Amino acid sequence: MYAVIKTGGKQYKVAKGDVLRVEKLNAAAGEMISFDQVLMLGDDQGTT
């Protein structure tokens, strides 16, 4: 399963366990954070 998220004016395709390097977040390196702008979810069956 994967998701397309939006943060900092950019879109990223991410999956569970991915490490993502983004700009303009107020968090320490390695800290787990949540994203509220999920644009799409998908898997091998399709997208929603």
In terms of residues, how long is the chain?
A: 48
Model confidence, pTM = 0.79
Distance CA 48, CA 41 (A): 5
Q: Where are the domains of the chain?
A: 2-47
How do residues 1-48 score in pLDDT, each as one tens digit? 999 999 989 999 999 999 888 888 888 888 888 899 999 999 989 887
Place of tokens 């991410």: 14
